[in-house]
Amino acid sequence: GVFGALFIFSQSFTVGIIGVALFAVALVSGQNLASLIVDAVGLGPRGRQPVSVVRIASSTIGIVAVGIAVSGRVGEDSLSVPAVALCVVAGIGVAIQQAINGRLTTISREPMAAAWANFAVGSLILTLALLMITATG
């Protein structure tokens, strides 16, 4: 889907700048944060899910991990705050996409429906992005 395309783009764009480890930590932190919100508003297939103290603490630990991972590189030219932010945003998108996929699978009772919808939309978005990048040089 759209958020899967964002994930692929952010991975391709940022890993060379910030490295795989920081990419993964930032992505998971965004995913953790958004997962709490996605569950609280009921976007997933099971509807609203309670947000517990343990889940909030776990998410907070993940977010603090980004801070710790970044702290050793503050002041270095290799630290790109926009690249880290893009990874966090991609993680947020992944959490939303997972909830939508789960809902689509529950409604259709066919997991391949979500897979094909993601493939089609994600491929279209990535193709359009490639065409725009190629056209603008």
Residues 6+ apart with CB under 8 A from 102: 44, 45, 46, 114
**Binning pLDDT at 50, 70 and 90, where does residue 7 land?**
very high
**Domain region containing 129:** 2-136
Question: What total number of domains does the chain contain?
Answer: 1
Residues 6+ apart with CB under 8 A from 96: 3, 34, 38, 43
Helical residues (DSSP H) of the chain, grouped into ranges = 2-18, 20-41, 53-71, 81-108, 111-136
**Average pLDDT for residues 26-44, to the nearest whole number?**
92
Q: Which two tokens stand for residue 42?
A: 């009921």
**Which residue would you say has higher pLDDT here, 72 or 127?**
127
Asked if residues 103 and 95 have their Cβ atoms less than 8 Å apart, the reply is no
pLDDT above 80: residue 71: no
